[in-house]
């Protein structure tokens, strides 16, 4: 079965059947607009980025929230690596790119109420490219190489190497980047990827 997930300013991301478009369920819990929504590689989880200063991780089978990742400002961008549903990258108006390892938070606190999501503070994330971004991060693309991520911020695309946490390349475009998607190339060259960018010029 294939899933589709949508983000919406009403704060209610929805899960649909990818083949028929039929509504499966709505993830209830955000208190602000949801800017982006992503499915994990194995489709068991979904991640949402919201104006309520949180990223939430949901169980796609039950609709229950599993984790609430607290931030200090609006979260605009999220991404999973291509082959790991336990990692999630976030970015937004804090101008900070972070990676969180959900497996480190798999066991909820002993005094937590059943069905209540585990709260993860921003301090639990690994900051990538400290001080690099000077504008909000609007998009994150985790490439087919799990050690490389790309961010879109204002007019600039930046490539980051995760092991060193350093920015290894950047491209400044003529206008503000409005959307950004990772597109895999033909199978014989799977190790190569390209970015499709929408800018006003």
pLDDT band at 178; cut points 50, 70, 90: confident
The pLDDT assigned to 201 comes to 44
C-alpha dist (Å) from residue 180 to 25, 69, 102, 156 = 27, 23, 25, 11
Closest CA relative to residue 91, chosen from 47, 59, 60: 47
Residue pLDDT, tens place only, 2-23: 889 999 999 999 999 988 999 9
Q: Which of 105, 21, 17, 29 is nearest to 65 (CA)?
A: 29
Residue 51: what are its φ and ψ, rounded to 5°? -75, -5
What is the residue-averaged pLDDT of the chain?
A: 88
Could you read off the pLDDT of 147-161 as tens digits, one per residue? 999 999 999 999 999
Is the pLDDT at 196 greater than 60, yes or no? no
What pLDDT score was predicted for residue 109?
52
20-44 pLDDT, tens digit each? 999 999 999 999 999 999 999 999 9
For residues 129, 92, 42 and 67, what is the CA-based torsion angle, rounded to 10 degrees?
110
Cβ atoms of residues 66 and 25 within 8 Å: no
Q: At residue 55, does pLDDT exceed 70?
A: yes
Domains annotated on the chain, with CATH: 3-198 (2.130.10.10)
Cβ neighbour number for residue 85 with a 10 Å cutoff: 18
Q: What is the pLDDT of residue 105?
A: 73
| Tokens representing residue 38 in the block | 């992503």
Q: What is the pLDDT of residue 189?
A: 47
Q: For residue 169, is pLDDT > 70?
A: yes
Of 67, 37, 80, 30, the residue nearest 51 (C-alpha): 30
Condensed to tens digits (0 to 9), the pLDDT of residues 93-139 reads: 999 999 999 988 766 555 556 568 999 999 999 999 999 999 999 99
Q: What is the average per-residue pLDDT within 83-102?
A: 96
């Amino acid at each position: 079965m294939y899933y589709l997930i949508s983000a919406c300013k009403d704060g209610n991301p929805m899960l649909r059947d990818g083949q028929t478009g039929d509504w499966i369920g709505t993830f209830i819990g955000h208190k602000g607009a949801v800017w982006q929504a992503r499915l994990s590689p194995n489709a068991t989880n979904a991640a949402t980025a919201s104006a309520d200063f949180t990223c939430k991780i949901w169980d796609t089978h039950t609709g229950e929230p599993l984790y609430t990742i607290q931030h200090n400002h609006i979260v605009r961008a999220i991404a999973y690596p291509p082959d790991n549903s336990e990692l999630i990258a976030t970015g937004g108006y804090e101008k900070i790119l972070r990676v969180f390892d959900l497996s480190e938070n798999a066991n909820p606190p002993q005094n937590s109420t059943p069905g209540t999501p585990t709260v993860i503070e921003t301090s639990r994330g690994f900051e990538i490219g400290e001080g690099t971004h000077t504008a909000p991060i609007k998009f994150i693309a985790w490439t087919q190489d799990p050690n490389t991520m790309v961010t879109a911020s204002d007019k600039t695309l930046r490539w980051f190497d995760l092991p060193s946490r350093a920015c290894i390349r950047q491209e400044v475009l003529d206008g503000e980047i409005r959307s950004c998607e990772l597109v895999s190339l033909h199978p014989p060259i799977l190790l190569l990827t390209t970015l499709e960018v929408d800018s006003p010029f």
